[in-house]
Amino acid sequence: MSKMTTYLLCLIAAMSTVRSIRAEDGYRLWLRFDLIENEEQRNSYLDQLPQIMLTGDDPVLQTAGKELSRGLTGLLGKNIHVVPAAADQSGILAGIIGASPLIDGALSPSDAGQIQLEGFLLLQRNDQLIIAGKDARGVLYGAFRLLRILQERQPLDQLHLVENPRVKLRLLNHWDNLDRTVERGYAGFSIWNWHQLPEYIDPQYTDYARANASIGINGTVVTNVNANSLIFRTDYLEKAAALANVFRPYGIKLYLTARFSSPIELGGLETADPLDPGVQQWWKDKVDEIYRHIPDFGGFLVKANSEGQPGPQQYDRNHADGANMLADAVAPHGGIVMWRAFVYSNEEPVDRAKQANNEFVPLDGKFRDNVLIQVKNGPIDFQPREPIHPLFGAMPQTPLMMEFQITKEYLGQGTHLVGLAKMYEEVLQTDTHVKGKGSTVAKVIDGSLEGHQLSGMAGVSNIGTARNWTGNLFAQADWYAYGRLAWDPYMDADRIFEEWATMTFTHDKKALSVITKMLAGSHETCVRYMTPLGLHHIMGAGHHYGPGPWVSKMPRADWTSVYYHKADEKGLGFDRTASGSNALEQYHPDLAEQYADPDKIPLKFLLWFHHVPWDHPLSTGRNLWNELCHQYHQGAAEVTQMKEDWQSIKEFIDEERFQQVKMHLDIQEKEAKWWRDACLSYFQTFSKMPIPAELEQPAHDLEYYESLRYPYSPGIRPRW
């Protein structure tokens, strides 16, 4: 006998034709519930999806009913009404599952037993289609899953689908400031209008919640990791509570970033020492106040002792001391603390890639049960390609959550088409070897490798006030893909691209094939024309826009490009083997062994771990210099091919969105050639070798590329 509680939506009949015409400006994202044009298919769905019978008064369950009514009405061309169920058909089943007259025994104990929290069952049986969940969120996710099935024109016959989220906490991290600027934001200003909150609730807040719920995101951090103590002032908490009220019916919890020095800046204390009783009490009182405003507040995200942010190390305390103090404050309310592992000291390290491990591994097992360590996918800083962060698998007693960047700080910012799902997939499927073969990063972050109950994934948002949300239309695919992989980090990236393209653009097979191909190859293309063969952090200083391998004059060495590529007359690359910084020792020996030999390491990581002579022969049959030249040229040529591919499907795309993408591809082609020519011109000064004659030569000399200035780069104040 099962003791679980199950919410149900039973779908039964439909009526009255409606028509909806919308401008195709990208605002609707992948939630385009337009009429299914094939009348036979539409009628087939109607036969299986009549009226919606909704039971229960949970706000999230009510949202599921509204979303189903809205989506099915658009797709099927009939007004689908939500009909209240009789009192004896509560839809809340306990004990022996399947005994309710509402579903005529359709839900068996076996079916019910497969459903976990936030998971759902879609079942077509006995002329009924059932959405069942162990909680209301599960029903909501099941409702959106059903709509996706119809959007993709998949059959409903014999539908029997169980899906459970693999990761418990699936969050967006907004790097949004209270003045509405967005750090690394390439789609306009912040959508959170703190000035008009809490009185004015922008409808976009609801549309934001809808989009996130449709891909299983269940939490959002609405403030920047470079935090501002003002967010904890009572008037700002009232504003945050207004947002939480919008998110709640969509199953989304609100989180805030905590500035570690808030007891001083807001509370008037003389210290923020985490072991000081007065500081501990201040945080407990502040947390109590937050929960009075937001009863389901999720907890804190913290950036401390990194890039000038205050933290416990100022008081000779460690990260565990700081995290545990905050964790103790939120624990009575069920809250959590996400403590970022992106740290590097004020003193210049031997190798910045090693510092997070050096600081966190000794603290394994010393964090409270409601603390997660939030780790970037790689050890430097969201580069176009990085090896996995060595922390994954190195802290078996501590739950680690993934931090991916959705906004393209180092990947073309708001102009380049780069399908990030391929990068995410590469990271998640990498084998750490820490518990034998098959110990993938995905198993680390979903908790299954070490049996952690608490698990999480965070994505740095790319959302702004741009009408299409993300500025670049194809950047919507990154938001979508992040959500799908946070739900299931084992998903295939190509499948995600196809889903997004189908719901966003068209059902034509030729066009879908082209769009999926563009997305699937675009990440590798970007790496080729920006940072091939393991190069990294060679972008322009400060804004990170465009190439800047020559950057050498910054306040600290590890902010420069020359620190990372180490180009000289002998060769190129950062030696992280035993003869260099020995960062390799931080990985499991089996993984380190794969990377230790420059002749055996995958070429994509060659220059990350090795300083290689310019004339060193590679497995491609070329020496390092010639391979570098060919990689840069291939990347630029592939962008030109993407432009041609997009042009080939013009007839299947509405004019407005076709032109949006076309203009951005024009920019990407120009900038890919700029990257190619600028980087090769610079590195050639060290190699002293010619660019192969069969390849296009740089359009300008190195002095020209070094002279370029971009005062209008996002996030940079113009200086004339």
Q: Are 78 and 17 in contact (CB under 8 A)?
A: yes
Strands annotated E in 107-189: 120-125, 128-133, 160-163, 169-173
Rounded (5°) CA angle 413-485-420:
25
Beta-carbon count within 10 A of 632 CB: 27
Count CB atoms within 10 A of the CB of residue 82: 15
- Residue indicated by tokens 């088409």: 417
d(CA 222, CA 203): 17
Q: Report how far residue 375's alpha carbon sits from residue 717's, in angstroms, rounded to the nearest whole number.
A: 30
Residue 116 — left, alpha, or beta (φ > 0 → left; ψ -120 to 50 → alpha)?
Answer: beta
Start-to-end CA distance of the chain, whole Å, equals 74
8 A C-beta contact, residue 46 and residue 126: no
To 5 degrees, how large is the angle CA 692–CA 697–CA 702? 115
Q: Is the Cα dihedral 275, 276, 277, 279 positive or negative?
A: negative
Q: Give the integer Cα–Cα distance in Å for 323 and 695.
A: 54
Task: Print the SS3 string covering 421-489.
Answer: HHHHHHHHCCECCECECCCEHHHHHCCCCCCCCCCEEEEECCCCCCCCCCCCHHHHHHHHHHHHHHHCC
Helix H or strand E segment including 347: none
Residues forming the active site: 307, 381, 409
Q: What is the 3-state secondary structure (H, E, C) of 183-240?
A: CCCCCCCCCCCCCCCCCCCCHHHHHHHHHHHHCCCCEEECCCCCCCHHHHCHHHHHHH
* Residue 136 to residue 8: CA distance in whole angstroms: 9
Taking the C-alpha atoms of residue 704 and residue 470, their distance in angstroms, rounded to an integer, is 32
